[in-house]
Amino acid sequence: MTVPIALTVAGSDSSGGAGIQADLKTFAALGVYGASAITALTAQNTQGVTGIHHVPPHFVTAQIDAVFADLSVGAVKIGMVAAAAIVDAIVAGLSRWKPAHVVLDPVMVATSRAPLLESDAFEALRRKLVPLAQLMTPNLPEAAMLLDEPVAENESDIVRQGQRLLDLGCDAVLIKGGHMHGPESIDYLVTRQGAQMLSAPRAATKNTHGTGCSLSSAVVAGLAKGDDLETAVRRAKTYITAAIAAADRLDIGRGHGPIHHFHSFDFE
């Protein structure tokens, strides 16, 4: 049995709702075998991050090399990169193995507002990782930080920022609109051919921990299975919308709980 394979290069969330753990759950839920290269260990739960321990850069490279040397990786997701030296390690690995699809989720701040990216790593991410990405998936604050602009508040500004982000070197940008308000949650897929609006009903829940990680991983799962980019993004949006809508079926933690990655499975 041939199974599509995806690799996530990201940080670990000890509470299981975001990071590597969310990525692997997403891959599994969508029928993709997940491999991982861990960049950082975080001590966190649904209420916040209490500690971060960086994995030595040479060991990040070793994990990436070990996976590619043995597994037929169809697509790669990059999440929390933590530090500039880790960015360099990831760039070295990707440049050596040249995966067909790379999706970059520029994780900078946790849901609890704890910083997840050191200041010296910010410019390294912009200059070195973004040009390697087929798709970048910032939320509205992350897009603004990457461009050193105020957070976009309307559709025209979101699309304009997406077009500016393309100038950093990636092929496409998916700006996530979860931080906006209103009955619809709208994401914007911006490519050099134009912009598309992806809308879904907004779920009234506080349990959104790991949403961004899981959305980018769902796109990667689609690419690993052979979907074109637009199809992968649209299917990922559908999956995440349902996972958020089902989040309150879970009772996990006392803060911002996780989304329901396995909402389509009946555990009862």
Within 10 angstroms of residue 32's Cβ, the number of other Cβ atoms is 23
Considering the candidates 93, 211, 225, 237, report the single residue annotated as catalytic.
211
Considering the candidates 17, 212, 222, 257, report the single residue annotated as catalytic.
212
Considering the candidates 77, 128, 176, 225, report the single residue annotated as catalytic.
176
**Helix 211-224 crosses helix 19-29 at what angle (to 10 degrees)?**
40
Tokens of 99: 């995966």
The answer to whether residue 222 is catalytic is no
Distance of CA 235 to the CA centre of its chain: 15
The answer to whether residue 178 is catalytic is no
The answer to whether residue 225 is catalytic is no
Left (φ > 0), alpha (ψ -120 to 50) or beta: where does 19 sit? left
Considering the candidates 8, 137, 208, 241, report the single residue annotated as catalytic.
208
Considering the candidates 93, 210, 222, 257, report the single residue annotated as catalytic.
210
The answer to whether residue 170 is catalytic is no
The answer to whether residue 208 is catalytic is yes
Considering the candidates 34, 77, 137, 213, report the single residue annotated as catalytic.
213
CB crowding 64-94: b at 16 or more within 10 Å, else e: beebbeeeebbbbbbbbbbbbbbbbbbbbbb
The answer to whether residue 16 is catalytic is no
3-state secondary structure 71-121: CCCCEEEECCCCCHHHHHHHHHHHHHHCCCCEEECCCCECCCCCECCCHHH
Q: Which of 45, 56, 63 is nearest to 83 (CA)?
A: 56
Q: Where are the alpha helices (DSSP H) in 148-228?
A: 155-166, 211-224
What are the strands, taking DSSP E only, across the chain? 5-13, 33-45, 48-54, 75-78, 102-104, 135-136, 172-175, 184-191, 194-201
Q: List active site positions.
A: 176, 208, 210-213
